[in-house]
Copies of this chain bind each other. A is one copy, B any other.
């Protein structure tokens, strides 16, 4: 299973592709950041983000896309741009028929580090270990995108096994 993780943002969208399945070592496929200039108007910045994500989907052909769930309680000055960027990410993935999963920051922290209250550097370190990298990916948005992809493989995989077990139990009833 190959997942594109997206940490949405108007200035920087972290993007990271991870391949693997539950119970096996995961592999880093690619990681990066889609940047847009604050000198552009917001509509143009969103179009750049749309094109950037399209290019990542085209190049890596993931099976699913995992996007950070944005909350209204986040930092007010940037939350609107983040929400808009996350909407663009959802549309680009969904109109290709890809599965789109949203994970909260604490779900991601809990999945990769075992604690929903882990800090940025702990998440970066765990991503480094899980993907057997030499150093934490930078900037933090890139590491967060990989953490989102890892979360989706682990949680999505667990959900798929649960669904299969429930279906089998239903057949044996």
Contacts and interface: CB of A to CB of B under 8 A. Distances in A.
A24 interface: no
A102 B41 CA distance: 11
- How extensive is the interface on chain A, given as a class? 20 to 34
A47 B94 contact: yes
**Chain A binding surface SS class:** helix
Copies in the complex: 2
Contacts of A71: 80
A71 B93 CA distance: 26
Given A72-B80, A83-B83, A43 B94 contact: yes
Contacts of A72: 72, 76, 79-80
A91 B44 CA distance: 7
A67 to B, nearest CB: 9
Given A72-B72, A72-B76, A72-B79, A46 B84 contact: no
Interface string A32-50: 0000000001111011001
A84 B90 contact: yes
A-B pairs with lowest CB-CB distance, top 9: A84-B87, A43-B94, A83-B83, A43-B90, A43-B100, A87-B87, A72-B76, A46-B91, A47-B94
